[in-house]
């Protein structure tokens, strides 16, 4: 794809950033991305991002974990080799169930937690040796950066962003990816 121009507006305060985001949204400009050094409470709502569905994914993973535990122990302890171990009733799964509950619980939590974390990594494209996508190193310390695509409206955007309290404006050629 062809290279496109974006404008990087840099802020030094999260409150200023929040009002700037609201202002830019009100003016109907599309915000490509916001880089912040820490989570800014309410930023996702101001940007109009959709709520995450990772909790639903986690619930499903937990159900899978519970099923794995039940099927595994039913096969091993009840069907494959129902030994008498210390008088425990291995005639049916239900009769011996209390003994399996700790494993059922742990596997539910294990699946829910680990698969959710892996889902998070995949969805947010994070892995070792990944090239950092940081447009400005200062955004990891104490600066906030808002990125807006330019569609021939440079002057208008610049004056709007100046008004919102941006301390620095950079126009950058960006490889679309």
Partner 1 sequence: MYTFSNKLKTVSIALMIIGALGVGYGFMTSHKSFEEVETILTEEASHHGGGHGEEAAHGTSHDAHAAEAAHGEGHADSAEEQVDEHTKHVEHVQHQIANRPWSAFYVAAFFFFMIALGVLAFYAIQFAAQAGWSPVLFRIMEAITAYVLPGALIVLAIAVASGTIGHYNIFIWMDPEEVAHDKLLQGKSGFLNMTGFIIRGLIFIAGWSLYRHFARKFSLAQDKADVNDNRNFKKSFRIAAGFLVFYIYTESMMSWDWIMSVDPHWFSTLFGWYVFASMFVSGITVIAMITMYLKSKDLLPFVNDSHLHDLAKFMFAISIFWTYLWFSQFMLIWYSNIPEEVTYFVTRFADYKLPFLGMVVMNFVFPLLVLMNSDYKRIPWFVVMAGIVILCGHYIDVFNMIMPATVGDRWFIGIPEISSIMFFAGLFIFIVFTALSKHPLLAKGNPFIKESEHFHY
**Is residue 128 a contact point for partner 1 (CB under 8 A)?**
no
CB 24 within 8 A of CB 163: no
**Is residue 98 a contact point for partner 1 (CB under 8 A)?**
yes
What are the backbone angles phi and psi of residue 103, rounded to the nearest 5°?
-75, -40
**Is residue 39 a contact point for partner 1 (CB under 8 A)?**
no
- Taking CB under 8 A as the binding criterion, the range among 94-102, 118-126, 150-158, 162-170 that sits at the site for partner 1 is 94-102
Q: Of all residues in the chain, what percent are helix, strand and coil, respectively (each to 5)?
A: 50, 15, 35
Least Å distance between CB 162 and partner 1? Answer: 32
Give the CA-trace dihedral at 146, 147, 150, 153, to 10 degrees. Answer: 0
Residue number, 55 or 171, with CB nearest to partner 1: 55
Residue number, 100 or 120, with CB nearest to partner 1: 100
**Is residue 55 a contact point for partner 1 (CB under 8 A)?**
yes
Among residues 49, 59, 92, 159, which is the contact residue for partner 1, using CB under 8 A?
Answer: 59
**Is residue 87 a contact point for partner 1 (CB under 8 A)?**
yes
Least Å distance between CB 98 and partner 1? Answer: 5
Residue number, 52 or 140, with CB nearest to partner 1: 52
CB 79 within 8 A of CB 72: no
Among residues 57, 70, 72, 99, which is the contact residue for partner 1, using CB under 8 A?
Answer: 99
Q: Is 43 exposed, middle or buried (0-12, 13-18, 19+ CB in 10 A)?
A: middle
- Taking CB under 8 A as the binding criterion, the range among 19-27, 71-79, 98-106, 132-140 that sits at the site for partner 1 is 98-106
Closest to 11 (Cα-Cα) out of 61, 28, 27, 31: 31
Taking the C-alpha atoms of residue 59 and residue 154, their distance in angstroms, rounded to an integer, is: 46
Binding site for partner 1 (CB under 8 A): 55, 59, 87, 98-99, 101
């Amino acid at each position: 794809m062809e290279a496109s121009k974006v404008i990087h507006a840099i802020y030094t305060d999260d409150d200023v950033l929040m009002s700037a985001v609201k202002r830019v949204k009100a003016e109907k400009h599309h915000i490509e991305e916001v880089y912040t050094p820490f989570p800014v409470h309410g930023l996702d709502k101001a940007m109009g991002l959709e709520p995450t569905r990772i909790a639903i994914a986690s619930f499903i993973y937990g159900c899978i974990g519970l099923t794995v535990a039940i099927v595994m122990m039913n096969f091993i302890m009840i069907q494959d080799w129902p030994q008498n171990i210390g008088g425990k009733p291995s005639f049916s799964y239900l009769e011996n169930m209390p003994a399996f509950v700790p494993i059922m619980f742990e596997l539910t939590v294990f699946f829910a937690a680990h698969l959710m974390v892996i889902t998070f990594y995949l969805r947010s494209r994070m892995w070792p040796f990944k090239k950092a996508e940081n447009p400005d190193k200062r955004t990891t310390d104490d600066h906030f950066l808002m990125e807006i695509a330019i569609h021939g409206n440079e002057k208008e955007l610049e004056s709007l962003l100046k008004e919102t309290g941006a301390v620095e404006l950079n126009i950058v050629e960006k490889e679309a990816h």
